[in-house]
């Protein structure tokens, strides 16, 4: 609903430009008309979202449509707020954290979002849990007794060289010092969040 040229006209013009042929188009509207959603699907627009939109909803929509584009966009359903709410993938998450307060908070958040969570109180327990079952992601505290997050990550990555698939590991640390993120990534972790954890 823009003056001079609306979103549908703009989308048609983008689609006609060869240099933009591979672009993923997402429609944001303040109207929320069912007919507009059907028109988006017919045109090949990947999502139709109504405003106002939360950051988390927008991020989920972007990740969903980019994931569909890398698979089979032609047969992927239109990403709408309703569809994203029902199709969000449920994950099996291993939380390696020695602080009872922190793991209670993280577990509560993750379970509220529909994920299955297993808690390990140190690096050794995390390795044992990974030997017994498969997880989609590991949230790894850096400072734990017995075996810290760096040692546990090194052991996991060494095992993966013979066992196969890569499990994403996200570092959780209270130390937000310059260079910490790089140190975590160099140690084989895939991401980094600081404490206190925010939803």
DSSP string of 117-137, one letter each residue: EEEESSHHHHHHHHHHS--SE
Q: Do 100 and 81 belong together in one domain?
A: no
8-state DSSP, 88 = P
Pair (67, 105) in one structural domain: no
Q: Are residues 47 and 26 in contact, defined by beta-carbon separation less than 8 angstroms? A: yes
Q: What range defines the domain where residue 109 resides?
A: 92-194
The pLDDT profile of the chain, 199 residues, written as one tens digit per residue, is 788 898 899 999 999 999 987 888 988 888 777 788 888 888 888 888 888 888 877 887 887 777 655 544 454 566 666 555 544 567 899 999 988 888 888 998 888 878 899 999 999 999 999 999 989 899 999 888 888 999 999 999 998 888 778 899 999 887 666 777 788 888 899 888 888 877 7
* pTM score: 0.58
Q: Pairing state of beta strands 26-29 and 47-50?
A: parallel
190 in the same domain as 103: yes
Please state, in angstroms and rounded to a whole number, the distance separating the CA atoms of residues 69 and 25. Answer: 11
Residue 85, pLDDT score? 56
Q: Which residues pair with 193 in a beta bridge?
A: 172
Helix (H) or strand (E) holding 26, with range, is: strand 26-29
Same domain assignment for residues 106 and 60: no
Identify the pLDDT of residue 77: 61
In a domain, 199, yes or no: no
Residue finishing a domain among 86, 113, 143 = 86
Q: Total structural domains in the chain? A: 2
Across the strands, what pairs with 94? 118, 138
Residue 109 and residue 166 in one domain: yes
CATH no. for residue 107? 3.40.50.2300
């Amino acid at each position: 609903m823009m003056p001079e040229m609306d979103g549908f006209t703009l989308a048609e013009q983008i689609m006609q430009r060869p240099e933009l042929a591979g672009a993923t188009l997402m429609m944001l509207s303040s109207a929320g008309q069912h007919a507009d959603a059907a028109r988006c699907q017919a045109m090949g627009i990947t999502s139709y979202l109504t405003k106002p939109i939360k950051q988390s909803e927008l991020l989920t929509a972007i990740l969903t449509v980019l994931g569909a584009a890398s698979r089979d966009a032609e047969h992927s359903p239109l990403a709408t707020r309703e569809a994203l709410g029902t199709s969000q993938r449920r994950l099996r998450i291993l939380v390696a954290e020695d602080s009872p307060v922190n793991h209670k908070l993280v577990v509560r958040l993750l379970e509220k979002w529909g994920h299955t969570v297993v808690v390990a109180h140190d690096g050794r327990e995390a390795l044992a849990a990974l030997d017994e079952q498969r997880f989609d992601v590991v949230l790894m505290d850096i400072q734990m007794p017995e075996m810290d997050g760096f040692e546990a990550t090194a052991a996991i990555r060494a095992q993966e060289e013979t066992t196969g698939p890569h499990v994403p590991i996200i570092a959780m640390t209270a130390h937000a010092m310059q260079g910490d993120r790089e140190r975590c990534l160099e140690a084989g972790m895939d991401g980094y969040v600081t404490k206190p954890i925010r939803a």
